[in-house]
């Protein structure tokens, strides 16, 4: 499998002969998180290099995997996933959308198709972020709904726009519009990145671990998440991603994770639990769908000051504050296993329900290999969709059972003990909420039995968990 590394300026990226190049941030990557210091440092370093009259400014590298589809080819596009380097790349993209800079670097911000102009940068399944990116395109207002996912980007753009006022040239000359245009030309034509393209079949986790000197490892379960969500239709993908994310954080309780990730009201899940429906993923999907519809309606119809003064409420008000109230507290319960091992036990249950043979072994470092052999085999699109959706729905059901019936390490002051966290419901203003207790007088017998199994079984497998769940 060949690896191709080449040096590119932004101008060279724009003027590729074979097709227009687009870049995608995969779902397992973080959102844009650079802060003021990182952005100021980058802008200042590039400006200093320009002031010194340097012929080239080397910005580092980015790791790519080509994901061009047949539909992309028909449009004259080549699409690449940004496996590493997306923070720098996104910073340059945003810089190309800022006033004055855009006059010189604008071609880097966009791809012109026959019937439309689209951003050169895209984020997988984060449609609100993509709406924000699209609002920066020519002819757009530059105004989009303010959501938490775009907050860092908005702050970055404001900082870039104010660079004219904050940067001080060494020669004391003014930083005026003409200077910014010349600086933008330097960034567009002289700032270079090494783009390394690797084959799609390569072990990205191992490669990322080897080349990334920051020591940030791409987790196998994040790649697995991407593989499964890719087979789920776009209109459903965000819901399934939310369920996966809630299950993946094994340090918290699943209903709190889901509320914090989606801003779903806590009492909605409390209602489901009271009815015995929290286990049923289809009921949770219904809540998430209605929450998404309400969010769209809220962004479409802003409240007036008069509405606010008169206390106009929406269907999905309050509740989120309840779930977030103890967000700052140190966690008092932690899982006895990690998420990769939990995934393998869920896979064993999925295979049992499908009437298929059990895994030959449970080994979390072989997570992707085991899933590829038993769940991700080639199949028709409809079958792959049903398989991915069914597994994530099962994952949710098992995680709800896990939090209610499986021991955790629970902080009891001076000691940390094995304990099942008692689940109950409390009512407030006719709304029901899920409560978790660390009262060690409850379910002692079951806790002791599981603790015996935990200490007597191999810690890297815990085969007893599959039949118990």
- The pLDDT value recorded for residue 321 is 38
C-alpha 240/C-alpha 396 separation (Å) is 10
Cβ-contact 50, 183 below 8 angstroms: yes
pLDDT of 365 > 50? The answer is: yes
Query: What is the percent of the chain with per-residue pLDDT over 90, rounded to a whole number?
Result: 52
C-alpha 308/C-alpha 312 separation (Å) is 6
Least confident of 290-294, 317-321, 405-409, 439-443: 317-321
Average pLDDT for residues 387-408, to the nearest whole number?
97
Cβ-contact 348, 359 below 8 angstroms: yes
Pairing type for strands 77-84 and 20-25 reads: parallel
Closest CA to 434 of 267, 282, 283: 267
Least confident of 214-218, 333-337, 338-342: 214-218
pLDDT of 5 > 90? The answer is: no
- The pLDDT value recorded for residue 77 is 92
Least confident of 80-94, 95-109, 252-266, 321-335: 321-335
| Residue found by looking up tokens 């000197």 in the block | 213
What confidence tens digit (pLDDT) does each residue in 189-230 have? 999 999 988 887 776 666 655 555 444 445 789 889 989 999
Buried b (16+ CB within 10 A) or exposed e, 311-342: eeeeebeebbebbeeeeeeeeebebbbebbbb
- The pLDDT value recorded for residue 213 is 45
pLDDT of 328 > 50? The answer is: no
* Sign of the torsion angle spanned by Cα atoms 315, 319, 321, 324: negative
Average pLDDT for residues 81-89, to the nearest whole number?
90
Is the entire prediction scored with pTM above 0.75?
no
Residue spans per domain, the chain: 4-211, 220-468
Structure tokens at 129: 């972020």
What confidence tens digit (pLDDT) does each residue in 12-51 have? 999 998 899 999 998 878 888 888 878 988 998 899 889 8
- The pLDDT value recorded for residue 317 is 46
Closest CA to 177 of 96, 104, 97, 94: 104
Determine the straight-line distance between the first and last CA of the chain, rounded to whole angstroms: 42
Find all residues with CB under 8 Å of 14, minimum gap 6, and list them: 107, 108
Strand order in the sheet with 415-419: 333-334, 408-412, 415-419
- Give 183-206 as a DSSP string: HHHHHHHHEEEEEEEE-TTS-HHH
- The better pLDDT of the pair 213, 302 is held by 302
- The pLDDT value recorded for residue 136 is 85
- The better pLDDT of the pair 181, 61 is held by 181
pLDDT band at residue 300 under the 50/70/90 scheme: low
Average pLDDT for residues 102-115, to the nearest whole number?
91
Structure tokens at 336: 């006895």
C-alpha 183/C-alpha 123 separation (Å) is 28
C-alpha 213/C-alpha 217 separation (Å) is 10
- Give 371-403 as a DSSP string: HHHHT-----HHHHHHHHHHHHHHHHHHHHHHH
Cβ-contact 192, 7 below 8 angstroms: yes
- The pLDDT value recorded for residue 404 is 94
Average per-residue pLDDT for the chain:
86
- The better pLDDT of the pair 253, 142 is held by 253
| C-alpha to C-alpha distances, 10 to 15, 60, 111, nearest whole angstrom | 9, 13, 13
Structure tokens at 164: 């004219």
- The pLDDT value recorded for residue 443 is 84
pLDDT of 269 > 70? The answer is: yes
């Amino acid at each position: 499998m060949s690896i191709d590394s080449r040096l590119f300026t932004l101008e060279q990226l724009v003027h590729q002969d074979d097709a227009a190049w687009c870049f995608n941030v995969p779902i397992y990557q973080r959102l844009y998180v650079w802060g003021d210091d990182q952005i100021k440092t980058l802008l200042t370093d590039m400006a200093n290099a320009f002031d010194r009259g340097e012929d080239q400014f080397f910005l580092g590298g980015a790791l790519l995997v080509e994901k061009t589809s047949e539909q992309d080819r028909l449009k004259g596009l080549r699409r690449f996933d940004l496996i590493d380097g997306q923070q720098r790349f996104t910073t340059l993209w945003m810089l190309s959308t800022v006033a004055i800079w855009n006059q010189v670097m604008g071609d880097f911000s966009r791809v012109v198709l026959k019937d439309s102009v689209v951003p050169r940068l895209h984020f997988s399944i984060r449609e609100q972020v993509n709406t924000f990116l699209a609002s920066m395109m020519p002819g757009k207002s530059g105004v989009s709904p303010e959501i938490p996912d775009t907050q860092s980007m908005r702050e970055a753009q404001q900082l870039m726009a104010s660079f004219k006022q904050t940067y001080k040239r060494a020669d004391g000359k003014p930083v005026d519009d003409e200077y910014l245009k010349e600086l933008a030309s330097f960034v567009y034509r002289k700032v270079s990145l090494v783009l390394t393209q690797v084959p799609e079949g390569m072990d990205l986790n191992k490669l990322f671990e080897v080349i990334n000197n920051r020591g940030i490892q791409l987790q196998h379960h994040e790649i697995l998440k991407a593989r499964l969500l890719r087979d789920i239709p776009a209109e459903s993908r965000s819901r399934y991603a939310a369920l996966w994310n809630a299950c993946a954080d094994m340090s918290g309780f699943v209903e709190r994770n889901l509320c914090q990730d989606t801003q779903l009201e806590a009492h909605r899940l409390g209602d489901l639990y009271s009815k015995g429906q929290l286990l049923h993923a289809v009921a949770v999907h219904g809540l998430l769908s209605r929450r998404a519809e309400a969010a769209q309606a809220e962004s479409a119809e802003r409240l007036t000051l008069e509405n606010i003064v008169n206390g106009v409420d929406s269907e999905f008000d309050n509740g989120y504050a309840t779930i977030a109230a103890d967000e700052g507290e140190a966690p008092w319960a932690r899982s006895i296993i990690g998420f990769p091992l939990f995934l393998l036990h869920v896979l064993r249950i999925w295979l049992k329900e499908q009437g298929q043979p059990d895994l030959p072994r449970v080994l979390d470092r072989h997570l992707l290999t085991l899933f590829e052999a038993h769940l991700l085999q080639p199949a028709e699109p409809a079958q792959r969709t049903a398989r991915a959706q069914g597994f994530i729905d099962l994952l949710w059901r098992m995680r709800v059972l896990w939090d209610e019936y499986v021991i955790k390490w629970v902080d009891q002051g001076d000691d940390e003990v094995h304990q099942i966290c008692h689940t109950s419901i409390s009512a407030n203003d006719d709304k029901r909420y899920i409560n978790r207790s660390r009262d060690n007088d409850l379910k002692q017998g079951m806790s002791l039995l599981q603790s015996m199994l935990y200490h007597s079984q191999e810690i890297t497998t815990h085969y007893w968990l599959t039949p118990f769940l």
